[in-house]
Structure 1
Amino acid sequence: MKIPAIAGLALAMLALCFSAAADAAINLSGTRVVLAAPAKEASLLLQNASAEDFMLQAWVEADATGEAPFAITPALDRLRAGQQKALRILYYGEGLPTDKESVFWLNVQEVPQKARTENTLQIAVRQRLKLFYRPAGLPGKAEDAAKELKWKLVDKGGKTLLEVTNPSRFHVSFASVAVRKGAESYSAPIDMVAPGSSFAVEVPGLVERGYSNGFKVEFQAIGDYGGMTKHINVIAN
């Protein structure tokens, strides 16, 4: 079935609007936020890099317990073209574990001003980044947590899984994880492992069944400021 010329033009314009709006106009000064006690707040610098004004909305998503003991200021504000503004994240001071890190999602959503012309599609673009609350006095250092990870291959239900255990009190986030043996390389879909926990995933293409001899894991860990460090570990039997 052929699409009429007018409908085809409308679809092309719609696709163009989606493509243009998909790029965020507001730049964030970091890829994550760490609120480290005894500090009661952390900040994130926002910059409107466009030539248009945007309404800014920010909030923190609750964790699995339904708790999000944070306040955001400004939670709703206008960010004018070229303007910079600091987003403050304040901790209430109670309710979170004191023996390990907690993690939440910080959302920054930009809402464009009313369109000057009719038949213009506008989209509210949302950026999400991790918000870590780090209690005071935790043993060890966050930058050393990636070195403490323990890796092994496990056989579950006839499938080979890569399991990572994090004995530290800090979250470890990954930019990439790969299982390697000689010229073979298998990517593992692991985003993050929580403190004091284990996480296992199936590694597509890996056909070994519980035999980890000769395998290594190479991964890039993401630090507090968004930088990445490369690590190579032997996978234990």
Structure 2
Amino acid sequence: MNNVMFLKKGLSRIQFFSIALLILVSSEALSSVTMIGNRIIYPSNKNAINVEFFNNDAIPYAVQTWLDDGDAESKPSTSHAPFTASPSIFKIAENAGQILRMTYNGSQVLPQDRESVFYFNFLQIPPTNIGDKDKQKSNQLLVLVKNRVKLFYRPVAIADRIANLNNEIRVTGTSGTQGSRIVIHNDSPFYVSIATVKIKQQGIQHAKSANMISPFSQESVEFKEITSLKKLTALIEYINDQGAKVSHEYTITQ
């Protein structure tokens, strides 16, 4: 998830950073500093893990990081999560990499029979002296890009079960003249990030989105255009640990 904010040059440095976290709008294409991978898995038996970044631009950036427990509007001063990222603010040179060290600080006791999810934020801050040698550029906009990715704390006691995740998901459904509803049951101790749910009927494939499903929980998806689920299957596409989409076909039990 990326967000971008435009700031007009000419603001003082204090004004610049005071406003920096206040006005954000969605964007997906302006991030020059990228994290290697699009999610973080933190094994419970690790004292720390490394998070890698790369600057794909020809100019350096400052990067500010923080973690939160689900508040998408969080700021470094208001966020809460039992993890520490070090350094929390760093400079990354042009066309270069940077490694951040993340540790579980124990400020919150986490369950050991299931995953816990948190969110890692990093804000890309451009240098404020861009265009200083060109008066025509003195009023250009500065772009700040905020990225937010999921961090999954995974207890070592359940780690091996991820290989059989497909077998710990099942689908039930009901149908009638008003349409159909399927329920995706997540019987696993992992968070399942659903990309799409697809049902094919009479040669027509119907696709719906769904929310991330918590461990030992379920999610309902409505298909109002389908009045009978008899002999139909559901193709569920979800995101794996590597951030890739994988799919599996399930019988819909009625």
The alignment's TM-score, normalised by the length of structure 1, stands at: 0.81
SS, match of residue 113 in structure 2? coil
Runs of 4+ in structure 1 displaced over 6 angstroms? Answer: none
The residue aligned with 1:166 is 186
In the TM superposition, residue 194 of structure 1 has moved relative to its aligned partner by 1.2
- 1:181-210 per-position Cα deviation (integer Å, ceiling 9, x unaligned): 24121112114211100111333x5242xx
- Structure 1's 213 and 219: CA in aligned 2 closer, same or farther, altered over 3 A? same
The residue aligned with 1:99 is 113
Amino acid across the alignment from 1:142: I
Distance in 1 of aligned mates of 2:159 and 2:28: 45
Distance in 2 of aligned mates of 1:67 and 1:77: 21
1:24 and 2:31 are equivalent in the alignment: yes
Distance in 1 of aligned mates of 2:195 and 2:28: 26
Q: How does 1:61-210 map to 2 (within 5 A)?
A: 61-63=68-70, 67-93=80-106, 94-114=108-128, 115-116=130-131, 117-138=137-158, 141-154=161-174, 160-203=180-223, 206-208=225-227
Structure 2: stretches of 5+ with no match in the other structure: 1-24, 72-78, 132-136
Amino acid across the alignment from 1:38: N
- Corresponding residue to 1:43 among 43, 50, 74: 50
- 8 Å Cα contact 2:211-2:219 kept in structure 1: no
The residue aligned with 2:16 is none
The residue aligned with 1:12 is none
Two-structure CA RMSD over aligned residues (Å)? 2.5
SS, match of residue 123 in structure 2? strand
The alignment's TM-score, normalised by the length of structure 2, stands at: 0.76
Distance in 1 of aligned mates of 2:152 and 2:169: 19
- Structure 1's 140 and 22: CA in aligned 2 closer, same or farther, altered over 3 A? closer
In the TM superposition, residue 23 of structure 1 has moved relative to its aligned partner by 1.6
- 8 Å Cα contact 1:181-1:214 kept in structure 2: no
- Corresponding residue to 1:224 among 214, 238, 241: 241
In the TM superposition, residue 67 of structure 1 has moved relative to its aligned partner by 4.8
- 8 Å Cα contact 2:60-2:91 kept in structure 1: yes
SS, match of residue 81 in structure 1? coil
Distance in 1 of aligned mates of 2:93 and 2:81: 29
- 8 Å Cα contact 2:186-2:216 kept in structure 1: yes
The residue aligned with 1:33 is 40
Amino acid across the alignment from 1:91: Y
- 8 Å Cα contact 2:113-2:189 kept in structure 1: yes
Amino acid across the alignment from 1:89: M
In the TM superposition, residue 221 of structure 1 has moved relative to its aligned partner by 2.5
1:59 and 2:66 are equivalent in the alignment: yes
- 8 Å Cα contact 1:21-1:123 kept in structure 2: no
In the TM superposition, residue 121 of structure 1 has moved relative to its aligned partner by 1.2
Structure 1: stretches of 5+ with no match in the other structure: 1-17
- 8 Å Cα contact 1:61-1:105 kept in structure 2: yes
In the TM superposition, residue 99 of structure 1 has moved relative to its aligned partner by 1.1
Percent identity of the aligned residues? Answer: 24
- 8 Å Cα contact 1:35-1:134 kept in structure 2: yes
SS, match of residue 188 in structure 2? coil
Amino acid across the alignment from 1:187: A
- Structure 1's 192 and 219: CA in aligned 2 closer, same or farther, altered over 3 A? same
